[in-house]
């Protein structure tokens, strides 16, 4: 049974869902009994932050994060973002690590990505987020130009002339991180609006019918980055709440049943942005 949008008692269930999945080492995993991992540790902490909840055993969490063998952009991102949530300073050597991954065209990886990767611009998003965390300033014009080259005629972003909402969000968010005036991207706004559904939520491309949680998140966040708001807030809130599971987590869609930390974070971030709760 989905929670009522006028009642916030269910938020305590969400908090307990996360707390029950912290391991003895201080890290987190969405699957009870599995080893801690950096991605779930970041999302677990981010959920607690959204809920205004205390982070338990924080020194153990910090110790686990400091010992994590980060060796690529994804692990740098999740470990550094998690440490930041713990109130820990991230060293400036992070800039050297991130910039060492930058290619001559301004990218941070290939645009031909595996299906497991959210979008071809996720690596740029992560890199610009990390550089922003340490207030590192360097000429990133080539990265801005790289992103703008992938804006398509429909206003969306994507490789090989094929736009999708996830790629569009990562491109817009990266441009914002780099100081680009994202409110000027009016054609991109039109593309994002074309992915918005009157019944609630957003789909990865305009022709799709099923709104997945990551696409709802990307849609709401993209609009916010361009100074706009969701056109169907009540329908979107109700759709997200229908993805709530009895264990306190959220699933990817109404049809897909397993709760994950990532989907739970996306759901809470959307609901908070739409004014369902605040701390």
pLDDT digit string (tens) for 225-260? Answer: 999 999 999 999 999 999 999 999 999 999 978 999
Total structural domains within the chain: 1
Residue 19, domain member (yes or no) = no
Given pLDDT bands bounded at 50, 70 and 90, which one contains residue 110? low
d(CA 222, CA 173): 7
Mean pLDDT of all residues in 199-228: 98
Segment 91-95 long-range contacts (CB within 8 Å, at least 24 positions apart): 91/134, 92/134, 92/136, 94/130, 94/133, 94/134, 95/131, 95/134, 95/136, 95/138
Q: What is the per-residue pLDDT for 196? A: 99
Radius of gyration of the chain (CA): 19
Segment 130-146, tens digit of pLDDT: 999 887 777 789 999 99
Residue 146, domain member (yes or no) = yes
Residue 59, domain member (yes or no) = no
Residue 125, domain member (yes or no) = yes
Residue 85, domain member (yes or no) = no
3-class state of residue 40 by DSSP: helix
Across 113-122, 145-154, 259-268, least confident range: 113-122
Q: What is the per-residue pLDDT for 112? A: 56
Mean pLDDT of all residues in 110-137: 77
Residue 137, domain member (yes or no) = yes
Q: What is the per-residue pLDDT for 279? A: 59
Specify the pTM. 0.94
Residue 167, domain member (yes or no) = yes
Quote the domain boundaries for residue 168.
Answer: 91-181
């Amino acid at each position: 049974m989905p929670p009522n949008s006028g009642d916030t008692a269910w938020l305590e269930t969400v908090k307990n869902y996360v707390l029950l999945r912290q391991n003895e080492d201080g890290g987190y995993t969405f699957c009870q009994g599995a080893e801690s991992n950096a991605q779930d540790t970041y999302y677990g902490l981010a959920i607690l932050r959204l809920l205004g909840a205390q982070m338990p055993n924080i020194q153990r969490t910090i110790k686990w994060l400091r010992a994590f063998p980060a060796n690529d952009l994804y692990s740098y991102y999740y470990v550094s973002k998690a440490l930041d949530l713990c109130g820990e300073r991230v060293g400036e050597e992070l800039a050297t690590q991130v910039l060492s991954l930058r290619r001559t065209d301004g990218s941070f990886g290939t645009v031909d990505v595996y299906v497991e990767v959210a979008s071809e611009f996720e690596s740029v998003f992560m890199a610009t987020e990390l550089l922003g965390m340490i207030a590192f300033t360097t000429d990133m014009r080539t990265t801005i130009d790289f992103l703008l080259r992938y804006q398509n005629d429909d206003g969306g972003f994507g490789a090989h002339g094929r736009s999708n909402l996830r790629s569009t969000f990562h491109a817009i968010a990266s441009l914002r991180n780099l100081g680009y005036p994202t409110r000027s991207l009016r054609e991109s706004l039109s593309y994002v609006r074309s992915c918005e559904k009157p019944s609630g939520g957003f789909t990865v491309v305009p022709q799709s019918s099923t709104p997945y949680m990551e696409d709802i998140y990307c849609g709401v966040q993209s609009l916010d980055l361009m100074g706009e708001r969701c056109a169907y807030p009540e329908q979107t809130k109700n759709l997200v709440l229908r993805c709530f599971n009895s264990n306190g987590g959220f699933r990817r869609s109404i049809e897909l049943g397993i709760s994950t930390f990532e989907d739970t974070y996306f759901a809470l971030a959307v609901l908070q942005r739409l004014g369902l709760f605040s701390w």
